[in-house]
Structure 1
Amino acid sequence: MESQTLLIKEYNIIWEALTHYEKHMEQMSLSASAEDEELSFDEKLQDIEVTRKTIQYGALNTYGIELKL
């Protein structure tokens, strides 16, 4: 039981970090001075979205942990 509590905490830390990084990338994309710079940030945002969905799916199906956006 203790290991599952630790696992839930770890998932939540990763989830919060991705959320924070996503917000940062959104701000960077909006303030980009060049189009290629903006595209680079947008690609990172897409990668974050895929990563979040993968983690969300894994947490729910493996451990029953529901992570919300």
Structure 2
Amino acid sequence: MDIAIEKVESKGIEQWIVCTGSLKMSFNDQPSAMAFSSKLKERVEAPHSLPVIKSEAFEQVTELDCII
């Protein structure tokens, strides 16, 4: 996942934007933007396990009838 930090200035006000995909978060200072992006990267790169869904619904279908 790409995470970018941009400095934006509008009407004399400095803001820092953290961008990743379609997510854009604005911060009033660079340290806050850096801390957020660091924590986001840490969480995205952390190991994740996929949930196991036990369902008999898939086991009940043994044959599909197709009408043409």
TM-score (norm. length: structure 1): 0.34
Q: Which has the higher helix share?
A: 1
Per chain length, whose mean CA-contact separation is higher, i.e. which structure has more relative contact order (CA < 8 Å, sep 6+)?
1
Greater Rg by CA: 2
TM-score (norm. length: structure 2): 0.34
